[in-house]
A and B are shown apart, each in its own frame.
Chain A
Amino acid sequence: MKQSKIGAWIALVVGALYFVVPLIGTFEFSLRMRRGAYSFDAYRVVLTDPRFQATFGYSTVLAFATIVVGVVLVVPTAYWIQLRLPRLRPIVEFITLLPLVIPAIVLVFGYLRIYGSSSLLPMTSNERATDVLLMFSYVTLALPYMYRAVDTGLRSIDVRTLTEAAESLGAGWATILFKVIFPNVRVAVLSGAFLTFAIVIGEFTMASLLDRPAFGPYLQLIGANRAYEPSALAIIAFIVTWACMGLLQVFGRGTKALAAPAPGRVK
């Protein structure tokens, strides 16, 4: 028994080293900008860079739009599947898993062909329309996580009884959805929202190929041209991810919706 305990400690220490050392290395590197002394110069340069503010702001707005559209799309669907069309559940679940199977770069390749400037619905012909296309791309990327979170939330409440109670009190479908169902799956929706934010904020592939000024392509640009700023940006990105996951833990306590995250997206 003692031997296995030593083995466990070794595994943990090696694992911890592998995960902590790059963070220390990045932080140390980000402080090296001023010659001969540690300083936060790299952070000052990054945070005052107008392109940082513009791209981070753009991606933040896009993330919020993605969350709103994702929630409006997923909650009524999952609710309706649970209440009226349970036989469709396998199909819908299969579809929500597709974004994990089809690589993001393949999806955006298809979008560029179907919604390119010479197609029937040329969404890449002007910037606003491309923004909308990018937002829907992100809704697609976030779909597996959002759907699982909301579906788990809906399973933990008695959807049928709540609906019937509301109907017998004379509520219409909008009232049921927004005043009864939504408040009851608020925690699940928030979990999905934080995960979506973490996915969207630094996403590179889709934003880059759709040629929009998002945070991911900005990161790539700085990485190719600067020495110390990329490390500062990596630390900032890590803090943002940590904040999203921390909030998810705080709000998602008790729901096991998101035990298994994350294949395939921002990478």
Chain B
Amino acid sequence: MAQQSQVAAGMPPIARLRPSQGFLVWLGVAPFFVFALMFLILPTGYLLVGAFQDPNGNFTLANLGDLFQPSILSAYWVSIEVSAASAIGGALVGFFLAYAAVLGGLPGWIRPTLMTFSGVASNFAGIPLAFAFLATLGRVGLVTTLLIKFFDFNIYSTGFNLLSFWGLALTYLYFQIPLMVLILTPALDGLKREWREASAILGASTWQYWRYVALPVLWPSILGTTLLLFANAFGAIATAYGLTGSSLNIVTILLYAQIRGDVLHNENLGYALALGMILITGLSNAAYIWLSGRARRGLG
């Protein structure tokens, strides 16, 4: 197959024999670029430019400065905390699950089952996911009532509340863990059995094997995927909105309220809010792409 296409590439292809079509060649990708311009570049660009303008269209940095008022800062901060908690939790649990399925010596049917289920669960998000957790861990949810009934233990008397920070983080794990499993499983496949055998022959303990062999190979994948999970949670809104309505002060819900009714009383400050979000998700995605490039090279 590869040989065939090499041969094909070596021959003067018929399609290239008409050099006069330079303009027509570009026409082939024109619809895509028009689409990208209309629905990605221009809308985002409009917000980015607006973030640096006052209501009269003059250049200003005041909007960016205004982001540092306590209510907005706390919205960003809660978003960052929820995203970080769910990303780190999702990465840890996802890592152990992927590890168990790939290297844990479990029966063969476990892995494909886990992968299929992860595909479903990572796509089961948004409002239905909020409903599921309300029915399970809400005040009259199944787990809450069973714990009271059989153990006389009310999780709500411990200060737990599903409609709060930890409740949201716990709910986000439902799509974060499967995403980690899906991305990390191929990376774990890259750990060669011989490395483990070689280090065992050289007298390395399991801990030494992980510390000096496996983790140095895996860390770009683990860290990169954690950052991807972080961005994933940071841009999320529907789950939080379905769970808590507009009561939780996270940045996506603040932006939703701003779009709906200009709650900040400054259109341009709304654009700056969006700019801040793009910066945060953009940076973590860029780091993910950079790290996954490293991971690919590391695994050869």
Contact = CB atoms under 8 A, between A and B. Distances in A.
Interface of A: 1, 4-5, 7-9, 11-12, 14-15, 18-19, 21-26, 28-30, 73-74, 76-77, 80-81, 83-85, 88, 92, 95, 97-114, 136-137, 139-140, 158, 160-161, 163-164, 167-168, 195, 198-199, 202-205, 209, 216, 219-220, 223-224, 230-231, 233-234, 237-238, 241-242, 244-246, 248-249, 258-264, 266-267
Nearest to A216: B127
Given A4-B104, A106-B278, A267 B238 contact: yes
A14 B96 CA distance: 10
A264 B236 contact: yes
Contacts of B121: 19
B135 A11 contact: no
A111 B93 contact: no
A9 B15 CA distance: 57
A167 B238 contact: no
10 contacts: A21-B142, A28-B135, A29-B135, A101-B278, A105-B259, A160-B13, A161-B5, A167-B15, A224-B245, A267-B238
Interface in B39-54: 39-40, 42-47, 50
A111 B32 contact: no
Chain B interface category by residue count: 35 or more
Contacts of A259: 182, 186
Given A21-B136, A161-B8, A262-B122, A205 B238 contact: yes
Given A7-B104, A73-B32, A76-B31, A202 B119 contact: no
Contact of B40 (A30, A77, A98, A203): A98
A110 B43 contact: yes
Contacts of A29: 135-136, 141-142
A181 B179 CA distance: 32
Contacts of A204: 126-127, 237-238, 241-242
A110 B277 CA distance: 13
Nearest to A81: B29
A11 B105 CA distance: 13
A265 to B, nearest CB: 8
Contacts of B50: 113
